[in-house]
Amino acid sequence: MKVRIFFITLILMAILLPYSINVEAAQVSAIRTTSRVLVDRTSKSFDAYNINDNNYFKLRDIAYVLNGTGKQFAVGWDGAKNAISLTTAKPYVSVGGEMTSSTGGTVKTATSTTAKIFQNGKEVFLTAYNIDGNNYFKLRDLGESLNFGVDWNASLNTIEISSTKGYTPEQADTSQTVCTSGVCIDETSKNNGLVRVGYKGAPTEKVKLLISKDGVQYFYPIKPDGIMVGFPLQMGNGEYKVSVLSNVTGNKYAYIKTSNISIQLTSANAVYLNSIQTISWSPTSAATIKNRSLIGLETDYSKRITLGYDFVVQNVRYDFDKISSLTPDYIPIPDKTLQVLKGICYDYSSLFAAMKRSEGVPIKLVKGYSTLVEGYHAWNEVYINGKWIVVDTTVDAAFYNAKGTFSFAKSTADYTKVYEY
């Protein structure tokens, strides 16, 4: 049975000091890390936690993955002395249980480790916590003490561990940010397809951002609150113009500042992993945490994607009442959609994209038209097996609620793309 779904037309505008605690144990909250982890460029699944914006890993897991490399080290435990020993250049002997995940929720109580730590017979001071009977160490402390590489790619939400190089201290802020006339433009992540823009002006000022390249223009509403927000550079390599415009009268806008940005993307799909205005996420956002709980220990790439898709389709409801209160500069907030579990097509596609980007899956939010929907519409394209697959959680949620039949992948013939993010 073919069902044609009609929705109310909505015009969407394209718009680290190491220390150890040897006194009374302190307790803090630990949130399961959702970042992707690469070990010598190979993806690995760790049971890791974020505590006070630092990532903590099981000591034996790190020893396990570095075993057999130039950075291998042995781990010992002396219960009588309440001491952990680390011996560099020695092979690690597995005790079983390495690289397994703890049970329970995504938020745990962490207690500072009271054990002393010795490396090659000398006491060292590393930040460590005990969670569910396992010792978790600050990754950068381990990297520095044992001299293996630790890097962080914020735009890709990826932690990189390397056995082929030594430890390099975390880099100081070298952001390429230029601020003039109240406008701040940060080009630091331009080669990952991201520019961050902020503008500080009068509270009632109407402001737009224009990003253009080779005659193609993307307009975005921005608030004059000075907060930096990410925007995509999704039109390939080359020269971009990034302009902030202020409303003069009616529909007339004046240029406040224009910046020319030249980019060379690190990879073709890097842009579709970023947190941007319409697909906002962070390692600790609700959408990220929800996605992590859904995929669990699933390792199959496609299955991980469909787990998120199934959740959105089966739990988010279309909000017809929302239409009347929307303004042309409406921006979806994935965490809010997750909280209320209802929204319009823009909300569906933004939430699904935020969830998948948080685990390193390239995914687009697309705007345009569909033969299945009346009026302007938003959906997703997900990168699977080297191809972009059209996915429409809004339409499929309607089919699901009507107990109709539907498929994950949609026919491109039924969709006409106008903008992609």
Confidence of residue 29 (pLDDT cuts 50, 70, 90): confident
pLDDT reported for residue 214: 94
pLDDT at 3 over 80: no
Q: 9 falls in which pLDDT band (50, 70, 90)?
A: very low
Class assignment of domain 177-268?
mainly beta
Q: How far is CA 51 from the centre of its chain?
A: 17
User: Is a pLDDT exceeding 60 seen at residue 46?
Assistant: yes
Rg (C-alpha) for the chain, rounded Å, is: 24
Mean pLDDT of the region 145-163: 92
- Location of each CATH 3.10.620.30 domain in the chain: 286-420
The region of weakest confidence among 118-127, 212-221, 308-317 is 118-127
Percent with pLDDT over 70 in the chain: 92
What integer pLDDT is reported at residue 27 of this predicted model? 60
| Confidence label for 171 from pLDDT (cuts 50, 70 and 90) | low
pLDDT for res 26:
44
DSSP-derived secondary structure for 96-156: S-TTPPPPS-SEEEEEE---EEEETTEEE---EEEETTEEEEEHHHHHHHHT-EEEEETTT
Could you give phi then psi for residue 287, rounded to 5 degrees?
Answer: -65, -40
When pLDDT is averaged across residues 93-99 and rounded to a whole number, the result is: 94
Do 124 and 88 form a contact (C-beta atoms < 8 A)?
no
- All CATH 2.60.40.10 domain ranges of the chain, comma separated, are 177-268
pLDDT at 173 over 70: no
CA distance 153 to 149: 13
Q: Does pLDDT of 334 surpass 70?
A: yes
Which range (87-91, 248-252, 399-403) has the least confidence?
Answer: 248-252
Residue 179 corresponds to which tokens in the numbers above? 């601020």
What distance lies between CA 270 and its chain's CA centroid? 12
- Quote the Cα angle for 383-388-393, to 5°: 80
Query: Could you tell me where the DSSP H helices lie in 296-378?
Result: 301-315, 334-340, 345-357
CATH placement of domain 286-420? 3.10.620.30
**Amino acid identity of 303?**
K
Return left, alpha or beta for 287; rule: phi > 0 is left, psi -120 to 50 is alpha, else beta: alpha
Specify the pTM. Answer: 0.64
Is 325 or 13 the better-scoring residue by pLDDT? 325
According to DSSP, the β-strands at 83-88 and 177-180 are unpaired
pLDDT at 86 over 90: yes
> Average pLDDT of the chain?
88
**What is the DSSP-derived secondary structure letter of residue 201?**
-
Nearest to 348 by CA among 410, 398, 406, 302: 398
The answer to whether residue 174 scores a pLDDT higher than 80 is: no
The residue that leads in pLDDT, 58 or 10, is 58
Query: Which pLDDT band, with edges at 50, 70 and 90, does 1 fall under?
Result: very low
Range with the poorest average pLDDT among 7-11, 175-179, 293-297: 7-11
* H/E stretch holding 198: strand 194-199
In this predicted structure, the answer to whether residue 175 has a pLDDT above a threshold of 70 is no
* pLDDT at position 69 over 80: yes
Q: For the residues 118-123, what does the mean pLDDT come to?
A: 92
Distance between CA atoms of residues 335 and 332, nearest Å: 9
Does 172 have pLDDT greater than 80?
no
Question: Within 10 A of 108 (CB to CB), how many other CB atoms are there?
Answer: 18
Q: Does 98 score more than 90 pLDDT?
A: yes
- Alpha-carbon distance 286 to 130, whole Å? 24
Cα angle value 251/256/260 (rounded, 5°): 115
Which residues have C-beta within 8 Å of that of residue 17, sequence separation ≥ 6? Answer: none
**H or E segment at 393?**
helix 393-401
Q: What is the mean pLDDT of the segment spanning 219-232?
A: 94
Give the confidence band of 125 by pLDDT, cuts at 50, 70, 90.
Answer: confident
* pLDDT tens digits, 364-413: 999 999 999 988 999 999 999 999 999 999 999 999 999 999 999 999 99
Q: Is 129:136 a contact under the CB 8 Å cutoff?
A: yes
